[in-house]
């Protein structure tokens, strides 16, 4: 999947989500899991690979119990910059709702017998991706296994038996690993970044005419003496400016 699909679904003047970029992979491949209250609660499981974040929506969240297999629906690739996104996607936008960074860290192939990204890309193409997670909450060996009988983009997220496997419900650890917030708490900042102070918008200029007229496309007001000015606030400073600056 390409970032064109991600960008097609979003209007970046209305959502704080990053437009993003494709990047060259670093020495360690990162992952992020975002808890997302959209039309339904789910966990967005994202693995850096091939310069983007390969992404799956996991409705019930990850499990540390090897006997429990979680449905994971593959969705469009997300930009690498999305790994740092936490906030509110405003109503009317795709995926509207609160998002927190539930877990983050780095990961590597379970069997590292070659270049990590090539091994992982081969596993993704095969439909059986095995990897070791080094996160703040999730650790140890996991697998994503494609299951076409459950749907075109259906996979299963499975915990392997290892020292980190247990019966505890890891989703009970609700706080963001970045802000310490839980999903139901409102974000500290406005969800849509403020634009800079506009310079192309000018106050209305009165127009002289020889006689009064009536037109449904016009609005009328008294021309008081003084200055017409526009007030603007960019989140840091306020400014008033007239037609002359």
pLDDT at site 78: 97
Q: What percent of the chain has pLDDT over 90?
A: 64
Residue 228 domain-assigned? Answer: no
Average pLDDT over residues 56-70: 98
Length of the chain counted residue by residue: 245
pLDDT at 23 over 60: yes
Residue 231 domain-assigned? Answer: no
Residue 112 domain-assigned? Answer: yes
**Catalytic pick among 84, 126, 202, 223:** 223
CA distance 190 to 176: 18
Rounded to 5°, the CA angle 138-141-145 comes to: 105
CA distance 223 to 216: 19
Residue 224 domain-assigned? Answer: no
Alpha-helical regions (H) of 155-226: none
Residue 192 domain-assigned? Answer: no
Q: Provide the number of structural domains found in the chain.
A: 1
Residue 194 domain-assigned? Answer: no
pLDDT at site 190: 40
Q: Which residue has the higher pLDDT, 122 or 209?
A: 122
pLDDT at site 199: 59
42: left (phi over 0), alpha (psi -120 to 50) or beta: beta
Residue 186 domain-assigned? Answer: no
pLDDT at site 208: 74
In this prediction, residue 223 has a pLDDT band, given cuts at 50, 70 and 90, of: confident
Pick the range with the lowest mean pLDDT from 12-26, 168-182, 202-216: 202-216
Average pLDDT over residues 47-64: 96
Q: What pTM did the predictor assign? A: 0.74
- 86-128 tens-digit pLDDT: 999 999 999 999 999 999 999 999 887 667 888 999 999 999 9
Map residue 120 onto helix, strand or coil: helix
Alpha-helical regions (H) of the chain: 3-8, 116-126
pLDDT at site 192: 47
**What is the rounded average pLDDT for all residues in the chain?**
87
pLDDT at 83 over 80: yes
Q: Is 35 a catalytic residue?
A: no
Residue 107 domain-assigned? Answer: yes
- 124-183 tens-digit pLDDT: 999 999 999 999 999 999 999 999 888 889 999 999 999 999 999 999 999 999 999 998
- Per the structure, the complete domain to which residue 97 belongs is given by 3-172
């Amino acid at each position: 999947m390409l970032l064109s699909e991600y960008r097609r679904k979003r209007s970046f003047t209305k959502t704080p989500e990053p437009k993003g970029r494709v990047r060259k992979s670093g020495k360690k491949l990162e992952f992020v899991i975002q808890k997302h209250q959209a039309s339904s609660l789910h966990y967005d499981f994202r693995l850096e690979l091939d310069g983007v974040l390969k992404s799956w929506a996991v409705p019930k969240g990850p499990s540390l119990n090897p006997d429990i297999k979680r449905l994971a629906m593959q969705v469009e690739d997300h930009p690498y910059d999305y790994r740092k996104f936490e906030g509110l996607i405003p109503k009317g936008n795709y995926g509207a709702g609160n998002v927190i960074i539930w877990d983050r860290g780095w990961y590597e192939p379970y069997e590292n017998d070659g270049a990590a990204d090539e091994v992982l890309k081969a596993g993704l193409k095969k439909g059986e991706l095995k990897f070791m997670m080094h996160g703040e909450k999730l650790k140890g060996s996991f697998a994503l296994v494609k299951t076409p009988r459950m749907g075109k983009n259906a996979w299963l997220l499975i915990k392997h038996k290892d020292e980190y496997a247990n019966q505890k419900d890891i989703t009970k650890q609700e706080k963001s690993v970045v802000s310490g917030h839980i999903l139901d708490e409102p974000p500290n900042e406005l969800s849509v970044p403020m634009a800079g102070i506009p310079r192309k918008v000018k106050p209305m200029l009165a127009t002289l005419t020889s006689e009064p007229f009536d037109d449904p496309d016009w609005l009328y007001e008294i021309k008081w003496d003084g200055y017409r000015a526009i007030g603007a606030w960019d989140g840091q400073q306020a400014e008033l400016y007239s037609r002359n600056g």
